[in-house]
Structure 1
């Protein structure tokens, strides 16, 4: 009877922690979309809201970690239950990093807005917003895979991250072209490139969450390299080039 009581208490604790994770995920998804919207509209006020909202995301990660540590200390979970608790902590860490990238987007949006006309590169805001929307969908699917223990959906997220890499590479080439055509575009394009890189890294963290779901369900992390498009920004010229 005592063991049943402990098991029920443990289940309640886990449900509460997992609810916090899903709440955190929703906050992060909002941060991404708001940051992209602020960028496209050069909305300094909305960008500042994104920056301020990151404090709540950080606080929620801390609460999740505290609750997870308490469960480990009080409940002495078995191997499979411990795996769940550790997965929760790693997912929260990935969400916190995505929130940081959204905050950084807000900072650079404010810098671009203050540049006036010189901070505008035609079409870049809409392209980056599409990229951010794609990442938000990946993150949402990764969290849904976690909530429903959907292995196929988690694997699908790993595959689809390649789309984000390809979008980043296309934008990198576009910004490079703008900078070569007119040196006055360099500062704005550098800000925009770093924003694109932030979004690409968000996709990596969505994939990391999906891989934690695979680990949670199967007990093993994926042993194959996930599909990635070659990053043009990291390419080195061939010898003698």
Structure 2
């Protein structure tokens, strides 16, 4: 039975995804700062703070020992502090550093640990099965656009997008490891500012994990349709 690790197990995307993978026969581990009743009753929960990237190794080691070596890792954690458009440097350095840890540094550390898990499973007979291994980062539109108030958040997301793209296209194209960036959009390609669908993310993520082939690393998708390729364009999010 394969293992899936979901980092950032919120009540929407995280929980819906964990439920979907459990229903598909995966052993599911979830990691978040707080313990939620639904996590305790259904999944194996690990207390984890993504603002502390130095603890990533310990998290993966605990998951390995308690649940199993994950062949699917989904990173949902994020941190965002709003800043005024006219004062882009008002964020205190310590807050900026914590946000970058959650949105970029811990993503890099998680990807590194994930690949080590994939390598270890590859060395075992039948360890990865026919579906291979999958790392998915829950992204948004900020690698393609800018928006008032989202400077630190966008910087972290853009760094994570570059990492995912690099791993998918350069580092491991010859191995059965897949790397994805999930970005839910409206039907016309406009970014979703609110109302993200947990079930839609779960459906897409499970399909990506089940497909043995690497698809487009930037998975822009629409609820009810799945992946949709939209023309890349630079645009600014309207002020709020």
TM-score range, shorter chain: 0.3 to 0.5
Greater radius of gyration (CA) = 1
Kindly indicate whether structure 1 or structure 2 has the higher relative contact order, using CA contacts under 8 Å at least 6 residues apart.
Answer: 1
Structure with a larger share of its residues in helix:
1
Q: TM-score, normalised by structure 2?
A: 0.32
Q: Which structure shows the bigger proportion of residues in strand conformation?
A: 2
